[in-house]
Homo-oligomer: A and B are copies of this chain.
Amino acid sequence: MKLSEAKQQFISSWGAFGTHWGINRTMAQIHALLMVSPAPLTQDDIMEQLDVSRGNVNMNIRDLISWGLVDRVILAGERKEYFSAEKDIWKVATQITRERKKRELDPMLKLLAQLEKIDGDRKNPEVKQFVDTVGNIKKLGLQADKMLDVMIKADENWFLSGLLKIFK
């Protein structure tokens, strides 16, 4: 298989993969393209290579920057802005984890803590099942939260070489 073909396939699969995780296709594709590009690209490069509009590229790049996955790069003597993705996959993974935790897990845990404190007789099966379920989800969520915190702080080597042994 040739590079151009493989690249196309990688970008398109990464896009499809992203949609299963609540990320829009173009955003995932731009990310994929930048990850396999050794040099920074301009909006026009991206528009051309992915065949999408300027506005679309602009919005999704902005989003990727807000996720901390892409950086604006100013090349000396160039008027245009260039964009470059974080290439260290471990950093990409921890960054995504960090953001999703902040945006989704933390607010959910806050809500669950509220819902646990409802009025009502715990002998009532409806009440009991509700409190139990919410409580258990919260418990699991708190564990996940702690685990993710540790992972975020851990460095790649520790994960790649160490974690495996612990889990084996």
Chain A residues proximal to chain B, CB less than 8 Å: 1-3, 6-7, 9-10, 13, 17, 19-22, 35-39, 87-90, 93, 100, 103-104, 108, 111, 114-115, 117-120, 125-130, 132-134, 136-137, 139-140, 143, 146-147, 150, 159-160, 163-164, 166-168
CB-contact partner of A22 in B19, B159, B160, B167, under 8 A: B19
Contact B146 A111 (CB under 8 A): no
CB-contact partner of A21 in B22, B88, B132, under 8 A: B22
Mostly, the A contact residues are helix
Contact A1 B89 (CB under 8 A): no
**A36-B133 in contact given A140-B89, A143-B163 (Cβ < 8 Å):** yes
CA distance A129 to B133 in the complex (A): 47
CA distance A21 to B21 in the complex (A): 5
- Within the complex, what minimum Cβ distance (angstroms) separates A159 from chain B? 7
User: Which residue of B is nearest A150, CB measured?
Assistant: B167
CA distance A17 to B37 in the complex (A): 33
**A118-B3 in contact given A108-B13, A143-B160 (Cβ < 8 Å):** yes
